[in-house]
Amino acid sequence: MSGVTMPELPEVETVRRGLHPVMAGHTIVQADINRPDLRFPLPANMKHRLEGATVLNLRRRSKYLLADLSTGETLLIHLGMSGRILISGQSLGTFYHDHPAPQKHDHVVLHMSNGARITFNDARRFGAMDLFATSASHSLLTDLGPEPLGNDFNETYLTAALASRKTPIKSALLDQHVVAGLGNIYVCEVLFRARIHPARLAAATPAAPLVPLIREVLLEAIAAGGSSLKDYRQTDGELGYFQHRFQVYDRKGQPCPVCATPIERLVQSGRSSFYCPNCQRS
C-alpha cells in the first residue's frame, strides 16, 4: 500500500488522460453490467443507454470522470477508494494488453468499436456510475467547490472560504465544498509544505501560501502520473495507481525529510493526519 495512491484529483486526471484516446470518437458496441449497484444503484437500462453511443469527449470535474455521449447523456464515473480502470486490447495501433480473464469485482466492462476493452473493477464498491442529460446538472456535482487548478480558486476565494470555518484546516481542505478534488493524502502533503499544523483553525490559517502550494502538489502528482502513462501500455494496462513519493503521508515514525524529527499521526474527523511536529506550527 505504501507508495500507492488512492484516487484523488491527480489520479483521476491521469485516468482521464489515459482513457481519452481510447474512448473519444469511438463507439460503445457492448456494455456488460455485471451487478445492479455500486455505492448507489446503477442507472435504469444502463446497458441499452450505453450501447451504440459514441463518446464525444471525456472530462473531469473534481474526482469525477464525465464521458459525454452522442445520445445527449453523460456517463459519470467515480472511482471511490478502490476503483480501478483497465484498458486491454489493441487500439489505434497501440498495444495495451491482452484481454485478461474476468476478475472478481469487474463490475462494468465497455467494449469499444476500436477493439479496446475498458474494465471498471472496484472491490469495495465505494465508486459510483450514473447517466444524466448532458444539458442538465447532477446532484453529485452541484455543490462542489472550485477546481483547485482553475482561475476561480485563488487567494481571495480561499480567504473568504476559510474565514467562516471553525474547523481545523485539515478538515476544511478535505471538504469538497471548499475546494474540489483534494483527499487525505494531498492535504497532508500541502500542509507539510506550508509548515502548517493540521489542527490549526481554518479561520486562523492564511490562504495566500496555500493556494500555490495546493497547485504545486497537484501538478507534481499529475506529472508523475503522466510519466506512468508512458509505461502502463507495456505492463498491466491499469490506470490511476502510480508510484509517488510522499514526504509525510503514511510515514509515521519516519524522519521528517527536512529536520529528521519523527513524523507523527493524528486522527481528525476520523482520518489520519501525518505531520512533522517540529516543522508544522499551530
Task: Return the active site residues.
Answer: 7-8, 63, 271
In whole angstroms, the minimum distance from the beta carbon of 1 to DNA comes to: 6
* Cell (9 digits) for 172: 476544511
Based on CB atoms, which residue is closest to DNA, 63 or 244?
63
Question: Measuring CA to CA, which residue among 63, 70, 48, 80 is closest to residue 16?
Answer: 63
What's the CA gap between 13 and 275, in Å, rounded?
A: 26
Residues near DNA (CB under 7 A) are 1, 6-8, 39, 62-64, 78, 80-82, 104-105, 123-126, 140, 164-168, 171, 174, 176, 183-185, 249-250, 265, 269-272
Q: CA–CA distance from 46 to each of 28, 43, 107, 115 (Å)? A: 12, 5, 13, 21
Based on CB atoms, which residue is closest to DNA, 8 or 238?
8
Question: Measuring CA to CA, which residue among 208, 213, 202 is closest to residue 163?
Answer: 202
In whole angstroms, the minimum distance from the beta carbon of 184 to DNA comes to: 4
Q: Which SS3 state, helix, strand or coil, does residue 102 take?
A: coil
In whole angstroms, the minimum distance from the beta carbon of 68 to DNA comes to: 20
Based on CB atoms, which residue is closest to DNA, 6 or 218?
6
What's the CA gap between 249 and 264, in Å, rounded?
A: 10
What's the CA gap between 41 and 131, in Å, rounded?
A: 11
Rounded (5°) CA angle 15-52-234: 35
In whole angstroms, the minimum distance from the beta carbon of 164 to DNA comes to: 6
| Non-local CB neighbours of 23 within 8 Å, separated by 6+ positions | 55, 58, 67, 112, 118
| Non-local CB neighbours of 278 within 8 Å, separated by 6+ positions | 256, 259, 261
Based on CB atoms, which residue is closest to DNA, 67 or 112?
67
Based on CB atoms, which residue is closest to DNA, 22 or 239?
239
In whole angstroms, the minimum distance from the beta carbon of 84 to DNA comes to: 12
